[in-house]
Amino acid sequence: MNYKENILKIITECCRVLVGGVFIFSGITKAIDPTGGAIKIEEYLNAFGLEMLSPLSMLASLNLSAIEFTLGVCLLLGAYRKYASLLSLILMGFMTPLTLYLAVFDPVSDCGCFGDALVVTNWETFFKNVVLLAAIIFAFLNNRRMTALYSFKVIWFIPLYAYIFSLAFSYYNYSHLPIIDFRPYKVGENIPSLMTIPEGAEEDEYRYSFIYEKEGVQKEFSLEELPDDPAWEFVDSNTELIKKGYEPPVSAFNLYNLFGDDVTDILFENSDGVFLLIAHKLEKASEERIDEINNLYDYAVDNGLLFYGVTASSFDEINRWTDYTGAEYPFLMADDVLLKTIVRSNPGLVLLRGGTILGKWNYRDIPGEENLTEVMESALKGDRINQKEDALIMFFILTFAVPLLLVWVYDWFRTRRKEKTVQSKPTEA
């Protein structure tokens, strides 16, 4: 009997660690890039004809990551075991058939369940969800066998703190830039290199077939089996991708001036420095830091650097922005999706030199006039050591872990004191 109980407990613990770990990873990756999550949710809404709900996409992105993260933490720490496993079961019960639909009909390219940190196909996502659904069903049916690391007196702190922490973490990444950039356009990357296919890289493999007709009968032939008999008449051909070859991280990067000329190579060849003020939609761009942007343009002119605004908006919107902000810098045009991928801010600032990204800023973080020279000279020298990013990551880890550890220590000593008190009481005759 003990042997069977031990086996059930081990399986239950493995299931809750598996589901909890995946939920935490999924929640964190979404929280690192909430803007990317909102873009993916908009894709879902458009695919299902629910465009009217698009204004809620950012709110949904923030809360979805917080819910996943909170459920994952509760499962791992054994907090509210019954309710955490039940809510996780409901979530997986909804997501599994949804991802089956995505896999069969392919309305969106990928589910976005791990953001840009780990891109998986719709079929891979469905099979992953089947495993998680089976695991959470078993964990829910055996939730009393989960180990609880906190007593009932302090257990309320776990989901509350996890949810608040996730929202705060997401909001920080939304208000600035993601502390970890999972997209190709990271600081330090050379864009032309990202578009290059290495020599000897695997190429796409295709299967070609041809349909011929003879005496009213159609037959399919491979490339090697083409008929020599002239009585066979060609009808159609099919091309099937068998194996996907190497695909560069960046498939295309094109910037055009207002006359329609591609000026990408000119910018890549510039060895002094190029500022790109990227606003994928000028009509939605923040006007909060206009003075800092105009000061930065003056700095660029004084130091022989290029400065361009880059947008996917219409000429009318460019003129409206120029008239309203007093902008003197010229504008370039680019694809909306490309611009949203380069920088998660509207507007956002990118500094290039020789096609290499030396710096990226959210509009809230564009340097002010008082420290503009120091920041820009540091970036142009190539001082791209990610000390600030590393410090931020460690700060958030400690901010989350330390309070949970302190509560656990308090709870443990409090429980031990109670046990000692009970043991020290004299037993009644």
Identify the weakest region by mean pLDDT among 59-63, 277-281, 416-420. Answer: 416-420
3 falls in which pLDDT band (50, 70, 90)? confident
> Of the candidates 296, 349, 278, 294, which has an alpha carbon nearest to the alpha carbon of residue 326?
294
Q: What is the pLDDT of residue 106?
A: 83
Q: Mind listing the pLDDT tens digit for each residue in 232-283?
A: 889 898 888 888 888 888 988 999 999 999 999 999 999 888 999 999 999 9
28: Cβ–Cβ under 8 A, 6 or more apart, which residues?
65, 69
> Based on the number of CB atoms within 10 Å of its own CB, is 381 exposed (0-12), middle (13-18) or buried (19 or more)?
exposed
The secondary structure of residue 145, as a DSSP letter, is: G
372 falls in which pLDDT band (50, 70, 90)? confident
d(CA 228, CA 223): 12
The answer to whether the beta carbons of residues 27 and 68 sit under 8 Å apart is: yes
Order the strands of the 274-279 sheet from edge to edge: 331-333, 306-311, 274-279, 348-353, 356-362
From residue 292, alpha-carbon distances to 288, 289, 295, 427 in Å are 9, 5, 5, 76
d(CA 305, CA 288): 24
199 falls in which pLDDT band (50, 70, 90)? confident
- Helices and strands counted in the chain (H then E): 13, 8
The answer to whether the beta carbons of residues 321 and 344 sit under 8 Å apart is: no
Identify the weakest region by mean pLDDT among 18-27, 44-53, 400-409. Answer: 44-53
Identify the weakest region by mean pLDDT among 45-54, 99-108, 400-409, 410-419. Answer: 410-419
Residue 302, pLDDT above cutoff 80:
yes
d(CA 147, CA 379): 50
Q: What is the pLDDT of residue 308?
A: 96
Q: Is the peptide bond before 249 cis (omega within 30 degrees of 0)?
A: no
Mean pLDDT over the full length of the chain: 89
Arithmetic mean of pLDDT, 368-377? 74
Q: What is the pLDDT of residue 383?
A: 58
From residue 151, alpha-carbon distances to 17, 71, 209, 418 in Å are 19, 18, 66, 12
Which residues, listed in sequence order, are joined to residue 357 by a DSSP beta bridge? 352
Q: Mind listing the pLDDT tens digit for each residue in 117-161?
A: 888 888 999 999 999 999 999 999 999 999 999 988 899 999 999
Q: What is the pLDDT of residue 275?
A: 94
Residue 428, pLDDT above cutoff 50:
no
Between residues 424 and 85, the one the model is more confident about: 85
Phi then psi dihedrals of residue 221, to 5 deg: -120, 145
60: Cβ–Cβ under 8 A, 6 or more apart, which residues?
38, 41
What are 201's two structure tokens? 């890289």
Q: What is the pLDDT of residue 1?
A: 53
Q: Mind listing the pLDDT tens digit for each residue in 377-389?
A: 777 666 554 556 7
Residue 369, pLDDT above cutoff 80:
no
What are 298's two structure tokens? 């003056």
Q: What is the pTM of this model?
A: 0.87
Residue 35, pLDDT above cutoff 90:
yes
d(CA 308, CA 301): 11
The answer to whether the beta carbons of residues 69 and 27 sit under 8 Å apart is: yes
What one-character-per-residue DSSP string does 392-421 give? HHHHHHHHHHHHHHHHHHHHHHHHHHHHHH
The answer to whether the beta carbons of residues 22 and 72 sit under 8 Å apart is: yes
Q: Mind listing the pLDDT tens digit for each residue in 204-223?
A: 888 889 999 988 889 988 88
